[in-house]
Chain A
Amino acid sequence: MPKTKIMTTDRGEGRELTLEILKYNPRDPESKPHLATYTIRETPGMTLFVALNMIREDLDPDLAFDFVCRAGICGSCGMMVNGKPLLACRTRTADYPEGKIRLMPMPAFELIKDLSVITGQWMDRMSQRVESWIHSSVEHDISRIERPVDPDAADATFELDRCIECGICVASCATALMRPDFVGAVGLNRIARFESDPHDERTDADYYELVGDDTGIFGCMSLLSCEDHCPKNLPLQEKIAYMRRKLAKVK
């Protein structure tokens, strides 16, 4: 396997960090997947996002990775950090005392190049499958004030609506990695979100039609990696069990 080793000449105060990063462009016939090694100096409060930008700026302008918000909101910078799916912008290099970090792109999603993957395509398929929109027979006049919603019900819906579609629950889930047609925790959470929304008129039988099979709720093996890795701390353990109980009862 080809291995690139690049050293920075920066002799700053911080400790030396070694990052091994997958380099591969599946669209380039000449490109072979390999781990490139970069050595940089750590700066105070450095995140992986900062480290990657430093590498791209100083060492390898060809390195591809995704980011937008830098604040754990957009969900663009998910990657496998020493085997764990994490958001690069919320991962501090100080949390790796050995100073060695291996970065791989998130599996389950189509690879664009290096660390950059297309989560949007996967999420779009999931959204279509779970019909991720309000199903209501009520015609709303947008010029009038909305009908009030019970605050507790609204809170419950907003809680699940915090999902940023980063794909970390998918990349952390052995079921989703083994079975690409599995709807994943993000899809099951989305179902739970609409189930709790008073605006949505769908019944449990309707949700069963969407995820009532072995690629849906009954395919989940309760490994709970989604729950343990979700950067937004969504109650996935609770909600998946809840939906399973509900859908298992559908006649």
Chain B
Amino acid sequence: MSDLIEGYLGKRDDGTKSRMPAVLDRWQSITGLILGLFIIGHMFFTSSILLGKEAMYTETKLFEGSLFLDEPEPLLVGIAASIIFIIFIIHAGLAMRKFPYKYREYKMLKTHSAHLGHLDTTLWMVQAATGFAMFFLGSAHLWMMVAEPEKIGPYASADRIYTDNFGFLYALLIAMVVLHAMVGLYRLTMKWGFTVRKDPRAGRRRNKRLMWGAIVFFSLLAYSALGTYWEIGKAHQPDYGKRYIPQSQISAGGEQ
């Protein structure tokens, strides 16, 4: 009954306003925070290739449960990717409520932003555009991780990036995700006043500096890693499909 009343009247059955807008606003922020923090971890983990193939292999196996399973299980990564995919879809659904969805809204926003010269407004447009792009780019990447979690490793990932042409997708995705996530985390602190309670204006300046620092740092990190995978994939192309054999197993001649 209350669903029917709220649907028609926008009120709860005690006559007060629906609390759903507050819930949606909160969950937009919570899912954004989870994804933002996840992507920071993700970029550090994928960049382990910069420390060498062995480091990346060891880390991959850790995520497959090598610490507590006799045989690492890629399904664990698939499950984690599925959870992230679900959070990603929820966040996209909640955030797109803010998009300019009529021509007049879009035109107003574009003109205003172009003439106002206000960085935070421009950055919001960047977030809307990168968010829209990630509907597609992020989904392609996430589905790959859900469907084939076993194909993660120094050679498997490099083969995907170079021979399977995923490198182009990732090159675009890195720019989108770094900008969207770092600007998003900055905006989150402004939206709720987190970390800036004592001196909101000084806190904003500091958080914006951190945002730019993070954008530069993670771009360099992620593109360096992508370049490294690209080079490995290029060298490994004749042996496409063969998996990396860790140092500890070379003498036994096993293949992972």
Contact = CB atoms under 8 A, between A and B. Distances in A.
Interface string B105-145: 10011001111111011001000000000000000000000
B26 interface: yes
Contacts of A214: 21, 97
Contacts of A235: 200
How many chain B residues sit at the interface, stated as a range, is: 20 to 34
A83 interface: yes
Interface of A: 80, 82-84, 107, 172, 174, 177-179, 205, 208-209, 212-214, 218, 220-225, 228-229, 235, 237-238, 241-242, 244-245, 247-248, 250-251
Given A174-B121, A228-B120, A244 B191 contact: yes
Interface string B1-45: 000000000100000111101101110000000000000000000
Give the interface SS of chain B, mostly helix, strand, loop or mixed: helix
Nearest to B26: A248
A80 B200 contact: no
B190 interface: yes
Given A83-B116, A221-B124, A237 B97 contact: no
Given A212-B19, A223-B124, A244-B191, 7 more contacts: A80-B115, A107-B108, A179-B105, A214-B97, A241-B190, A245-B193, A251-B19
B16 A222 contact: no
Nearest to B194: A241
7 contacts: A84-B115, A174-B124, A177-B108, A209-B17, A214-B21, A238-B193, A250-B22
Interface in B181-223: 187, 190-193, 200-201, 204
